[in-house]
Amino acid sequence: MTHQFDKEAAQWDQKQERVIRARDVASAIKKRCTSTGRALEFGCGTGLLSFALRPFAHTTLLCDTSPGMIETLEKKIQAENATDFSALLISEGAPELSGKTFDAIFTLMALHHIEDIGGTLGLFRRLISSSGTLFISDLVEEDGSFHGDNFSGHHGFRQETLNRQLQEAGFSRVTFEICHTMKQERGGKLKSFPIFLATATC
């Protein structure tokens, strides 16, 4: 899948739906937190969410496993002279982030691509400061038609399950809301794919 993201990276921002989705998620995050110190965007792609949130954090580290996405992001950072942003290519499980802490961590449409959800939430818990906030935005559980056949990731998330996994990872207060709905054509009809925002603190 990473290779697919590498291929799509240069044209990623041309799909207006992705830009609008990031803006809606950014608005929902800003209703809960207007500014922060050190932020991390995990599975950032081209950084649409971090750019939509600006101004938000004093510094933002944007990380992703796709070299193509990081290359495109670096060009955007340079073009926008976003000196508060830095891009980091990570490997699976993000050992490169070890020892760092953040006041806010946010992630959009990345978690369903990651096999080990418990391990990733545990990583977020280790990386977040004691007063920090985690924002996860992703697909509500769907029937598999979002990606279609040959997709090996998660078909979205069930609120109760993710809530339990967040508690198990060490987050104690979790809220959920729907912050955007994607509409895509399936079998000649428009199908809705709601996107949630989970906000979690320790």
Ligand X SMILES: C[S@@+](CC[C@H](N)C(=O)[O-])C[C@H]1O[C@@H](n2cnc3c(N)ncnc32)[C@H](O)[C@@H]1O
- Tell me which residues touch ligand X (CB under 6 A): 2, 5, 18, 22, 42-45, 48-49, 64-66, 69, 90, 92, 108-110, 113-114
Which residue, 15, 101, 13, is CA-closest to 50?
13
Q: How far is the CB of 108 from ligand X (least distance, A)?
A: 4
Q: How far is the CB of 100 from ligand X (least distance, A)?
A: 15
Q: Judged by CB, which is closer to ligand X: 48, or 174? A: 48
- Cβ neighbors of 101 (< 8 A, separation 6 or more) are 38, 127, 128, 129, 132
What tokens does 164 get? Answer: 């339990």
Q: Judged by CB, which is closer to ligand X: 43, or 156? A: 43
Q: Judged by CB, which is closer to ligand X: 146, or 176? A: 146
What tokens does 163 get? Answer: 């809530």
What tokens does 34 get? Answer: 């207007």
Q: How far is the CB of 136 from ligand X (least distance, A)?
A: 11
Q: Judged by CB, which is closer to ligand X: 139, or 174? A: 139
Q: How far is the CB of 111 from ligand X (least distance, A)?
A: 8
Q: Which residues pair with 185 in a beta bridge?
A: 190
| Helix (H/G/I), strand (E/B), else coil: 182 | strand
What tokens does 142 get? Answer: 């769907």
